[in-house]
Amino acid sequence: MNIINYIGMENMRKDVPQFKAGDTLRVHVKITEGDKQRIQVFQGVCIKRHNNGVGSSFTVRKVSNGMGVERVFPLHGPCVDQVEVMMVGRVRRAKLYYLRNLQGKAARIKEIRQR
């Protein structure tokens, strides 16, 4: 195998769940303050997945006190403790940038019901 890909594979995580844009995620982020470490949860809609091997990332958007907040996480980085998929959404785009222009009820995403 190509050495560059091989080194990338070594740095990849094996425990990343399957999700895509439109899914609602709970991202457990490790936060280091001084020498103490705690875990903060960031819950929102995944509006984008950037697939690039070990450099892959995903963007999670939530509306906090009326203010839209987006965070970009590395998919394979150790700063993310765990990603939980809360809801699988039905969307027709790979990148949900249109959500930035929508508010309230219009910004909802329908769930795909699993049988």
Partner 1 sequence: MIQGILGKKLGMTQVFVADGRRIPVTVVEAGPCTVVQKKTESADGYNALQVGFEAKKSHRVNKPMMGHFKKADQGAFTTLRELAADNVDEYQVGDQVTCDSVFKAGDIVDVTGTSKGKGFQGVIKRWGFSGGRATHGSKFHRGPGSIGMSASPARVHRGKKMPGQMGNARVTQQNLEIVEVRADQNLILVKGAIPGPNQGLVLIRKCVKA
Residues that bind partner 1 (CB under 8 A): 3-4, 7-8, 11, 30, 32, 53-55, 74, 76-79
Whose Cβ is closer to partner 1: residue 61's or residue 76's? Answer: 76
Provide the token pair at 74.
């590395």
Q: How far is the CB of 27 from partner 1 (least distance, A)?
A: 14
Residue recorded with tokens 């027709």: 92
Angle at the Cα of 79 from the Cα atoms of 6 and 10, rounded to 5 degrees:
10
* Residue 8 vs 68, nearer CB to partner 1: 8
**Minimum distance of partner 1 from residue 111's CB (angstroms):** 33
56, two tokens: 């892959």
* Nearest-angstrom CA–CA distance, 22 and 27: 15
